[in-house]
Structure 1
Amino acid sequence: MGAEALRALLARVRYEVLPARATEEKVLAHVPRDVVVTVTASPVKGLEPTLALTERLTAHGYRVVPHVPARLLRDDTHLKDVTERLRATGVDDLFVPAGDADPPAGTYEGALPVLRRLTELGRPFAETGITGYPESHPLIHDDLTIQAMWDKRAHATYIVSNLCFDARVLGDWLARIRRRDVTLPVYIGAAGPVQRAKLLSMATKIGVGESTRFLTRHASWFLRFATPGGYDPERLLARGAAAFTAPSAGVAGLHLFTFNQVAETERWRRALLDRLGG
């Protein structure tokens, strides 16, 4: 990948964090204000920790994108209350996955009805994100996940790809969704320079974040963080260079799953930018 293209991706970065006890302190200590922070939500703890952390980080000057899973919303009134609370905080970007709560907290089974309701409410957020699945969803056929993106496109402004470690798979997926005329910009979802021991510790302590659950269900991924020559985010970017930077791919930037290892993630990003002369 050319240095200029890689610098551009690293400059358009989002850090996903889990709403744990020490998250606010870690973000304040290590994340620059020009980096977007996204906050996941837990089907066990509900939306309150996400909303509260969003309010605090926004007050500190960050642009924060809360995750509001459809299956954690009780009904239309709850959605309206959450929307008003976030708008009062200054939030202008919302990420709406279906979520994993089983059973759902209320009437919403998936993201599309929530997105439609937000449109009916006058599109209160300037940006609204939805999930993309480069790798097969455990419960949904690939063609259906792409069809879902097509159905949601009128109500969303961007896609965040779910966690993926394979540049080839990401590239193939980008090509597939573009062939299906899904034109929303995409943030490439990738893990930061995660240490396996810390990741396991986080999974044990929390075990509820969407990202953490994904890895827990795919235990073989842990080996990528532990073995020599295993996962390296820089290598993923290099191998995906052509696919990620092609104008037709419509890649808006990187969405880094930090698993709350924000210090390590930011050090890695800064060191890479320094080597690239940025």
Structure 2
Amino acid sequence: MMDQQSAAALFNQTGGPRFELIPANGIVERAIAALPSHATLTITCSPTNGIDATIDTSIALAPRFAQVIPHIAARMIRSEEHLITMLDRLAEHNVHEIFIVGGDQEKPLGPYHHGLELLQSLATHENGLHRIGIPAYPEGHPHIDTDTLNQDFAAKAPYAHYAVTQMCFDPGQVLAWLQEKRASGLQLPCYLGIPGPVKLDKLLRIAPRIGVTDSLRFLKKNLKLSRKLMRGYDPGALVNAYTPYLSESDFCIEGFHVYTFNELDTLKKEVGGV
């Protein structure tokens, strides 16, 4: 279980942490049982589950939690009409914030090939959205080169209200990335992505897809942290490493984004503040 200091740092941020869930059978009931009603949830989007599963799950959870934020994958939107229908459905259930990603769909299902095109489209008409988030990759992306990634992030930032960093075990690398972006003029607030309690074998399966291979190399050099992960990872060390920077305006850290991997029972047990 996290110590009191790290739990306080995690949960005492304005609005508290955000918990990322994956649409799956029973996830609505499990989330209601494991997480407090004042929590903020984000719901992922993948080709396996489909974007409609993301919307349906978000709508099902919305009445039970303070805020629910669906991930909208640009490449999975079938048409502009499909987009408008989704946003109308969300607005009817008081969901007015979305998180835009390009998506892992190999071939676009409709007119949007990447997140920037979707952001530009949304900026041209009324859509009922109050906030939009975008991803950030301090460790890079498995399928996008660094220069392209930086150009894409800079182009998307003016259309967004905040960014969320990929999961990373090396706080030094994330803080260095933040310093670099702030020095270049970026003012977008950032949520720092941290893993919730998760077993190493599960992390190893997903790491190549989410671009955290540098973090795995970092773990190999930090055997103490690796041993903790083998038993079930406690994010307390990461939270404590970031805590001194949370109140520094130069970093503009909005809070924490917890990648739960749907390990909600473990999360409730390990993180005493939930």
Specify if TM > 0.5: yes
Amino acid at match of 1:228: R
CA distance in 2, matches of 1:212, 1:30: 28
- 1:188 CA displacement: 0.4
- 1:9 CA displacement: 3.7
- 1:125 CA displacement: 0.9
1:157 corresponds to which residue?
161
- Alignment pair present for 1:37 and 2:41: yes
- 1:33 CA displacement: 1.2
2:266 corresponds to which residue?
264
1:246 corresponds to which residue?
248
Change (3 A) 1:125 1:36: same
The alignment partner of 1:247 has SS state of: coil
Aligned pairs for 1:179-258 within 5 A: 179-196=183-200, 199=202, 213-214=209-210, 220=216, 227-230=226-229, 232-258=234-260
Change (3 A) 1:186 1:80: same
Select between 138-147 and 128-137 the one with higher mean Cα deviation.
138-147
CA distance in 2, matches of 1:226, 1:168: 15
Aligned pairs for 1:67-216 within 5 A: 67-196=71-200, 199=202, 213-214=209-210
- 1:11 CA displacement: 5.9
Amino acid at match of 1:100: D
- Deviation string 1:188-209 (CA, Å, 9 cap, x unpaired) is 0110111346x379x6xxx8xx
CA distance in 1, matches of 2:48, 2:224: 27
- 1:114 CA displacement: 0.7
- What percentage of residue pairs aligned between the two structures are identical? 28
Change (3 A) 1:169 1:216: closer
- 1:49 CA displacement: 1.0
CA distance in 1, matches of 2:224, 2:15: 24
- Alignment pair present for 1:47 and 2:51: yes
- 1:61 CA displacement: 4.0
Amino acid at match of 2:18: R
Contact 2:36 2:65 (C-alpha < 8 Å) held by counterparts:
no
CA-atom RMSD, angstroms?
A: 3.0
- Alignment pair present for 1:28 and 2:24: no
| Structure 2: gaps spanning 5 or more residues | none
The alignment partner of 1:249 has SS state of: coil
The alignment partner of 2:238 has SS state of: helix
1:276 corresponds to which residue?
none
Contact 1:171 1:244 (C-alpha < 8 Å) held by counterparts:
no
The alignment partner of 1:154 has SS state of: helix
| Structure 1: gaps spanning 5 or more residues | 274-278
Change (3 A) 1:220 1:152: closer
